[in-house]
Chain A
């Protein structure tokens, strides 16, 4: 590590402190329990957006299928919660008590083998991270060792997202089908549907998100982070400098998948169900938009981008539900055309110079406090 802190690194650390303050103090202070739960739901998408900053922003690998990994993490958690909610006593009216209700409706009489391990909470916690990472490894290995990249990779990930959705919907008896896994009640006996539980889960989610951002910052500032930037720019040069490029791409893709899985699991816990509508093409593209609006090179920007777009989505689709998809399409085009580095780019090009000028003018006085302005580090 460099002994001196570069200014970009310092800005990033300040940005981290501010985003922590916004998530942990500001938002809980100004919102009621219902809205806070909504914000908590938005923040679960920020895990995916942070993963995309590494995968797409740093390494230039655009995945249009991150919903796959978000969904897998979410389903792992949902399977555990569903089994806990399906005790023989609670399901005594079923023809086969003790299995999830949707299985009973589909004439399934025994718990499928792949559901069995989800009786264990420890296994579930591991699976939330490992299952998405394993699938990402398989996809990454198949694509990157064959040098499939760019648009082709994006299209293939999108196709996989579509396939997974169809699979989940088609295998209704094993997955709950289009309704997903619903009616989740308790986590190790603790009722997750109460307001107080939701508030606690919000903070658990917030701390996990901050931990993931901190971990991502560490990855980005390691040599591996610089190699990712290098291979985005000149893949061949990296290869002929003695690096196995495919291994690095697979790593970052798996890393992004694993943290998306955490986001998915936190989504299930806070929202109380999981369904294929969070897995497919539309949510996957939405997640890319969150990342693009925040700025695909900024980990902190990804959080603000996610919050902003979701807040807009909620307010907008309350009044004009059918127009939202068009509005989002327009937003994506606007971001790509007008401000390709998103909010973070606007911050570095417009807001930061103002601070610097102000700082020079008022030398001696303390610099402007930036609590109200989201400071977004590059």
Chain B
């Protein structure tokens, strides 16, 4: 078996079974550095489960996930984050009781151990980095606001910002434009286009217009398996895909 070290991420033969039901079944795909890889597929195709497996939230029944040559299936969640994988959840997952500043500060990659956190100082570097990210995610005027008072779209941005501040090599976004107003959606697309430069990104998205705009490569999942893979034009013209997904 080849080691596939040329790829940033190589997923091979990944299977997870919940009481006999295979949510992801013998899944293999590869992500190159700087590649924007979109996963699409009907509901229940195993898209979110695939991301859960990569970031360690769900443990694989069999198969391997290698990130820069490291086997992720054996690592703990926080170690996977330290290796350079960032994950955004489908529903905005932010700390409602803390301010926007504190949300970003907690995500700043320093002082991650218990005693590191006790000794952590809010120095110039932290403040500048938080300010820089806040400007990127359109929240520079909301830094002292409690996160629970943000709009749905702003919460999505905040979570994206929390990932950005970690500067991950691989960014995984689960439906980043879901539930947004039209104007928020436009702004988010612009934001995503900016932040995905220079890093590999895996995106799950239903918005086909958005997918066409950004995707380098598209993987279509169906019942936990890869149905089709390639460029958006290739995938769109694949009769199998039209059959199960786009045709509906």
Q: Do residues A230 and B114 form an inter-chain contact, with CB atoms below 8 A? A: no
| Contact of A10 with B by CB under 8 A | no
Contact A224 B97, beta carbon cutoff 8 Å = no
Q: Are B118 and A222 in contact (CB under 8 A)?
A: yes
Given A223-B105, A242-B109, A234 contacting B94 (CB threshold 8 A): yes
Question: Does B93 make an interface contact (CB < 8 A)?
Answer: yes
| B162 proximity list for chain A (CB < 8 A) | 237, 241
A229 x B120 contact (CB < 8 A): no
**A239 within 8 Å of B by Cβ?**
yes
Say yes or no: B98 contacts A226, CB within 8 Å: yes
Q: CA separation between A247 and B118, bound complex, in Å?
A: 13
**Cβ-defined contact, B118 with A226, below 8 A:** no
With known contacts A223-B117, A224-B117, A242–B89 Cβ distance under 8 A: no
Contacts of A243 in B (CB 8 A): 78, 112, 117
Q: Mark B77-120, 1 if CB is under 8 A from A, else 0.
A: 11001100011010001111110001101110101111001111
What residues of chain B lie closer than 8 Å to A226, measured between beta carbons?
98, 102, 105-106
The yes or no answer to A233 lying at the interface (CB within 8 A) is: yes
Shortest beta-carbon distance from B242 to chain A in Å? 36
Knowing A229-B98, A242-B82 are in contact, say whether A237-B117 is a contact too (CB < 8 A). Answer: no
| Interchain CB contact under 8 A, A239 and B77 | yes
Report the count of interface residues on A (CB-CB < 8 A). 26
- Chain B interface, number of residues (Cβ within 8 angstroms): 35
**CB of B122 within 8 A of chain A?**
yes
- Nearest CB of chain B from residue A184's CB, rounded to whole Å: 36
Do A240 and B77 contact each other (CB < 8 Å), given the known contacts A226-B98, A248-B114? yes
In Å, the complex CA distance between A247 and B121 comes to 20
CA distance A230 to B55 in the complex (A): 20
A229 vs B97: C-alpha distance when bound (angstroms): 7
Complex: chain A residue closest to B123, CB-CB: A1
The answer for the CA separation of A242 and B55 in the assembled complex, in Å, is: 11
Residue A219 at the chain B interface, CB threshold 8 Å:
yes
CA distance A223 to B97 in the complex (A): 14
Q: Is the CB of B106 within 8 A of A241?
A: yes
The answer to the question of A236 belonging to the interface, with a C-beta cut-off of 8 Å to chain B, is yes
Q: Mark A220-259 against chain B: 1 for CB-CB distance below 8 A, else 0.
A: 0011101101101110111111111101100100000000
Q: How far is the CA of A241 from the CA of B164 in the complex (A)?
A: 11
> Which of A240, A247, A248 contacts B81, CB < 8 Å?
A240
Q: For residue A378, give the distance in angstroms from its CB to the closest CB of chain B.
A: 12
- Is B166 interfacial (CB-CB < 8 Å)? yes
A224/B114 contact (C-beta < 8 A), A240-B87, A241-B107, A244-B76 known:
yes
Choice from A219, A229, A230 contacting B118 with Cβ under 8 Å: A219
Within 8 A of B (CB), among A1-24: 1-2
Within 8 Å CB of A245, what residues of B?
78
Chain B residues with CB under 8 Å of A242's CB are 78, 81-82, 109, 112, 166
Q: Does B57 make an interface contact (CB < 8 A)?
A: yes
- Which listed residue (A224, A237, A248, A251) contacts B93, Cβ 8 A? A237
Interface of chain A residues 279 through 332 with chain B (CB within 8 A): none
Docked complex Cα distance between A233 and B57 (Å): 17
Known: A224-B118, A244-B78. A234 touches B95 (CB 8 A): yes
User: Considering the chains assembled together, what is the distance between the CA atoms of A226 and B97 in angstroms?
Assistant: 9
Residues in B with CB closer than 8 Å to A241 are 81, 106-107, 162, 166
Cβ-defined contact, B106 with A223, below 8 A = yes
Interface residues of A in 147-170 (CB under 8 A from B): none
- Tell me the smallest distance from the CB of B225 to a CB of chain A, in Å: 26
* Bound-complex Cα distance A93 to B81 (A): 68
Tell me whether B106 and A1 are in contact (CB under 8 A): no
Q: Is there contact, CB below 8 Å, between A240 and B55?
A: yes
- Residues on A with C-beta less than 8 A from B86 are 240
- CB of B53, distance to nearest CB on chain A (Å): 13
A61–B198 alpha-carbon span in the complex (Å): 41
CA distance A1 to B62 in the complex (A): 47
Could you tell me if B96 and A233 are in contact, using CB atoms closer than 8 angstroms? yes
Roughly how many angstroms separate A11 CA and B188 CA in the complex, as a whole number? 39
Q: How far is B111's CA from A146's CA once the two chains are assembled, in angstroms?
A: 24
Tell me the nearest residue of chain B to A245, going by C-beta: B78
Report the Cα distance A3→B87, complex, angstroms.
33
Which A residues lie within 8 Å of B166 (CB)?
Answer: 241-242
Given contacts A223-B120, A234-B94, 10 further A-B contacts (CB under 8 A): A222-B117, A222-B120, A223-B122, A226-B98, A226-B105, A230-B103, A233-B97, A236-B89, A242-B82, A244-B112
**11 A/B residue pairs, CB under 8 Å, sorted by A:** A2-B122, A222-B119, A223-B120, A223-B122, A224-B117, A227-B106, A240-B55, A242-B112, A242-B166, A243-B78, A247-B114
List the interface of chain A (C-beta within 8 A of B): 1-2, 219, 222-224, 226-227, 229-230, 232-234, 236-245, 247-248, 251
**A-B pairs with lowest CB-CB distance, top 7:** A242-B81, A223-B120, A224-B117, A230-B95, A237-B93, A251-B114, A223-B117
